[in-house]
Amino acid sequence: MNYLFYLTAAIAVLSTTMVIFHRNAVHALLYLVTSLLAVAVIFYQYGAPLAAALEVIIYAGAIMVLIIFVIMMLNQGDSTVVQERAWLQPSTWVGPALLSALLLIQLILLVSSAPFSAVRAFHYIGPKQVGIALFSHYVLAVELASMLLLAGLVGAFHLARHRKPETGRSGNAN
């Protein structure tokens, strides 16, 4: 059933290409969600159902909703499309695209020249094994991740607070 893999990979690559070239932020975000869902299908094919579920729930769900909230808060209407069209001229994107294409060609050459084992057997790793590994071997890393999330919460709250310019402690704010 490799056709399914190649079809899903093509969807992921095409929708990611649409993300980096699209001018409307909300449309680009929808293409990004499509790309993340395609990657979730690929996780499932590699025998990682927990990763597939987390990809849908956290990436395509929570993180994309955060980004769409901010796009809605910053919405300037149709002027953004005109602005993006002015910013995304071919003279702007040809250089970075060529450099990234060169990097990709190098990576493809490296991968295709490396000796891979002929073993095609992938292993199904269920949520139970992942949970056992997570809370026995990596329990310290779980605690560190919780501290990271707490720091992210406090930092996001502090940064997103809208201070009045005259009462702000940072004197040069406008």
Given the complex with another protein, which of 9 and 167 has the nearer CB atom? 9
What are the φ and ψ backbone dihedral angles of 74, each rounded to 5 degrees? -95, 10
Greatest alpha-carbon pair distance for the chain in Å reads 68
Q: Is residue 174 a contact residue for another protein (CB under 8 A)?
A: yes
Tell the burial category of 141 from Cβ atoms under 10 Å away from its Cβ (0-12, 13-18, 19+).
exposed
Instruction: Count other Cβ atoms within 10 Å, centred on residue 142.
Output: 11
Looking only at residues 86 through 145 of this chain, which bind another protein when binding is defined by CB under 8 A? 87-88, 92-93, 95-97, 99-101, 103-104, 107-108, 111-112, 116, 120-125, 129-130, 132-134, 137-138, 141, 145
Half-sphere exposure of 45 (CA within 13 A, CB side): 15
Q: Is residue 41 a contact residue for another protein (CB under 8 A)?
A: no
Given the complex with another protein, which of 151 and 167 has the nearer CB atom? 151
Q: Is residue 28 a contact residue for another protein (CB under 8 A)?
A: yes
Looking only at residues 48 through 87 of this chain, which bind another protein when binding is defined by CB under 8 A? 48, 50-51, 54-55, 58-59, 62-63, 66-67, 69-71, 73-74, 80, 83-84, 87
Q: Which of 141, 75, 101, 79 is nearest to 20 (CA)?
A: 101
Q: Which of 149, 144, 124 is nearest to 134 (CA)?
A: 144
Q: Is residue 7 a contact residue for another protein (CB under 8 A)?
A: no
Q: Cβ of residue 151: shortest distance to another protein, in angstroms?
A: 7
Rounded Cα distance between 125 and 35, Å, is: 23
Q: Cβ of residue 27: shortest distance to another protein, in angstroms?
A: 11
Q: Is residue 42 a contact residue for another protein (CB under 8 A)?
A: yes
